[in-house]
Amino acid sequence: MTKRVMSVAGSFYPSSSHEINKMIDHFNTILESHPEVMKHFSTLSGYAIIVPHAGWIYSGFTANIAFRVLSNTQPKTIVVIGPSHRVGFEGVSIADTELYQTPLGDLVIDRALVKDLMQRFNIPCFPEAHHEHSTEVQMPFIKRYFPEANIIEMVYAYAQPSLIEPIITYCLDHADTAVVISTDLSHYYPLDEAKKLDSICLEAIQNENTHTLHQGCEACGMIGVEAMLNVAKRNGLESTVLDYRTSADTSGDSSRVVGYVSGVFS
């Protein structure tokens, strides 16, 4: 069977199942030490989330919150959409394989929906685009929280939000199907400046305001975020920012930081 093999295991996230489970358990231990926060998260649900995609030591805690909230709905198919960092191409590419490898075991790709999307939206598969960390770092979380779920991986490069919006809408119209939008925020600014830039992104997400998004937000996955905000606003979905932090929270280096956010659309 054809398989999308891991390309960043051991660098962006652990390569062993034991270390992955240990890391997620650690994230959850921190969360569960704040009962008031856990009570709030337990009331949230939705079929669309925003997650970061840096190395897990920096952004894994923030991403884990979103996947834990998503687990309140337990979707059967999860569509992961992220920006291409390595390969330039026009539009969107979809992984056209049968399995997706993770250290926790393979995920099954929803072949029927892949073929439907390819035909309906004329989406090609550029195999070289599918060694992408923005999507891959989400897969061990999915395997941990949704072990029986099917997945789809889509990567975009030179694309407009208007190209991705109907894809998101179509996926969300399918029963028990969730969408994961992958993005980091500002890159390599001093901490104070990064927080100012990132506050624009957070405000835009919280208020579903794409005009605000273009007032200084430097999210690397802004195309996907803008598409998701437009879909949410049209369909009456309520957005909630779940967590925000920067790489300085882990590294202690405030001179050149990267920002991370997670959110859910209810």
- The domain segmentation of the chain, as residue ranges, is 3-265
What is the pLDDT at residue 3? 95
Q: In Å, how far from its chain's centre is CA 46? A: 14
User: What does DSSP assign to residue 264?
Assistant: E
Q: What residue type is 31 in one-letter code?
A: L
| pLDDT at site 68 | 97
CA 202/CA 208 separation, integer angstroms: 10
CA atoms of 72 and 257, how far apart (whole Å): 32
Q: What is the pLDDT along the chain (266 residues), one digit of tens a residue?
A: 799 999 999 999 999 999 999 999 999 999 999 999 889 999 999 999 999 999 999 999 999 999 999 999 999 999 999 999 999 999 999 999 999 999 999 999 999 999 999 999 999 999 999 999 999 999 999 999 999 999 999 999 999 999 999 999 999 999 999 999 999 999 999 999 999 999 999 999 999 999 999 999 999 999 999 999 999 999 999 999 999 999 999 999 999 999 999 999 99
Q: Assess if CATH 2.102.10.10 describes domain 3-265.
A: no
Tell me the C-alpha distance between 183 and 99, whole Å: 24
* pLDDT of the residue at 1: 79
Q: Are 2 and 98 in contact (CB under 8 A)?
A: yes
Burial (0-12, 13-18, 19+ Cβ within 10 Å), 24? buried
| Identity of the residue numbered 224 | G
Helix-, strand-, coil-residue percentages of the chain, each rounded to 5: 45, 20, 35
